[in-house]
Amino acid sequence: MAVKSAKLGSSRSLQKENFILADLQGSPNVLGYYGDDVSIEKGRQFYNLFLEYASLGSIGDRVRRCSRVGLPKVEVKGFTKGILKGLKHVHKSNYVHCDLKLDNVLLVQTSDGVVPKLEDFGLAKGVGKKKQQGSLRGTPLYMALESIHYAEYEPK
């Protein structure tokens, strides 16, 4: 199990991720979620999110380790298929991830092999929910141009 923690006063994004992950359970390509809790450490309150542990790290980690030779095509094909299955589940559940990048896809070893799992839903939004005027969500280097230019996150 892995634990994501933040001081309670600055845990809004983590609490939002908790709500969204609870909705998204049921897909083998979305990181497992086990609940949340508030703890007190040295007199300070912390919000904790309990998640599936991904011992293999992220696809970003894997790409950096293989930077000279690249990933084998069979791995790329499997990872792509898993990411698309995860996104299909996210979209069917009426969410948009808003920060999909190699470092937000974790790798978990299962009896069926290495499975890519989407994670980090702190910037995700519900489809049809109003956005804050002028707000951008995501990592600029990975954002679609239309998101940067028009702050769009949904299909028209």
Which residues are the active-site residues? Answer: 99
Cα dihedral across residues 81, 19, 109, 100: positive or negative? positive
Which residue is associated with the tokens 């703890």?
39
Q: How many other C-beta atoms are found inside a 10 Å radius of the C-beta of residue 7?
A: 12
Whole-angstrom CA distances from 147 to 65, 86, 88, 136, 150 are 30, 21, 20, 8, 5
Nearest to 49, CA basis, from 65, 61, 33: 33
